[in-house]
Amino acid sequence: MDKPLLSVIVPSYNEEENIEAFYRAMRDEVASTHYRLEIIFVDDGSSDRTLVELQRLAKWHSNVKYVSFTRNFGKESAILAGFQHAKGDCLIVIDADLQHPVELVHELLLGFEEGYDQVIAQRDRKGESFVRSSLSTLYYKLMNKVVDVKLENGVGDFRLLSRRAVDALLVLSEGNRFSKGLFSWIGFDQKVVHYENVIRKNGQSKWSMQKLINYGIDGIVSFNMKPLRLCLYAGSAILLFSIAYIIFTFYQITQTGVDVPGYFTLISAILFLGGIQLVSLGIIGEYIGRIYNETKRRPHYLVKETNLDRGIRYEKAK
């Protein structure tokens, strides 16, 4: 029983058609390695038969563990639950929809054996709509300019983490978890392996444009205060400009007696400043909202049902 244990964490939201196929693929893949396997499915409050599928699977296979949430808490919470319950020497986070090729597990494990604490799977964006992939590319370009931790295009949650990397992640206690940023924040030696994007076979992507935009904002606001500084810069620039403009106009009126056009200057100043002020307020509000959320210290998720021997475990609120 000295074989190392691999924990596979699978956030699953309405994946009834994929659960069993995923389990089989993963089991067969890991069977040819010298790792023992536990698969922790985290049912993120699915409204379909995902939980029933999991219960059925767990009855037959002792390496299938599941945690089922009381409602949809989001993928980030599902990943966290997986981390908290996994016992493995190394962990792999992977999607249930078979879009993350299980064949890559070998390469990930290889990286782990070479001594890397994070082996990251990076995908190309083949088969994705042009709009989405170009928006993503643009987003990451901008993002890496403003954010203090490095984020890469095509790098998601699909990766292998060593036990100590997971322990490091578990120490980070923030309520709003932006995994991509957290993974990058903890550091450790990292290796990147590449794979081709696979198109989803069953079910639908849960990412609407709206969700993606919110995720994008999360990414920017969770990891730095530069947007606030941007407000400060914008405010200062406008202030300097207006002082110069006031002096210039004052000079014109008193010295050359030119009539200053009233309506246009007034309305443009009001609209422009109004816009800047609202944007700044929005940015400040975004941060205050986050402070508010963090101060409540609510648990990241609630468990409805699990077959884990540790039983139902609510996350400790500090």
**Which chain residues interact with ligand UDP by CB under 6 A?**
11-13, 15, 44, 72, 74-75, 78, 95-97, 99, 205-207
Nearer to Mg ion, 132 or 290 (CB): 132
Nearer to ligand UDP, 194 or 211 (CB): 211
Please identify which residue in 55, 72, 84, 99 interacts with Mg ion, judged by CB under 5 A.
99
Q: Which stretch binds Mg ion (CB under 5 A): 94-102, 189-197, 229-237, 245-253?
A: 94-102
Judged by CB under 5 A, does residue 197 bind Mg ion? no
Nearer to ligand UDP, 33 or 197 (CB): 197
Nearer to Mg ion, 43 or 97 (CB): 97
Phi, psi of 251 (to 5 degrees): -60, -45
Q: Nearest distance from residue 73's CB to ligand UDP, in Å? A: 8
Q: Nearest distance from residue 110's CB to Mg ion, in Å? A: 24
Q: Nearest distance from residue 169's CB to ligand UDP, in Å? A: 17
Q: Nearest distance from residue 173's CB to ligand UDP, in Å? A: 21
Nearer to ligand UDP, 58 or 231 (CB): 58
Q: Which own/partner contact pairs does 20-23 have at CB distance under 8 Å and 24+ positions apart?
A: 20/53, 20/57, 21/98, 22/96, 22/97, 22/98, 22/102, 23/57, 23/61, 23/64
Q: Nearest distance from residue 13's CB to ligand UDP, in Å? A: 3
Residues forming contacts to Mg ion in the complex (CB under 5 A) are 95, 97, 99
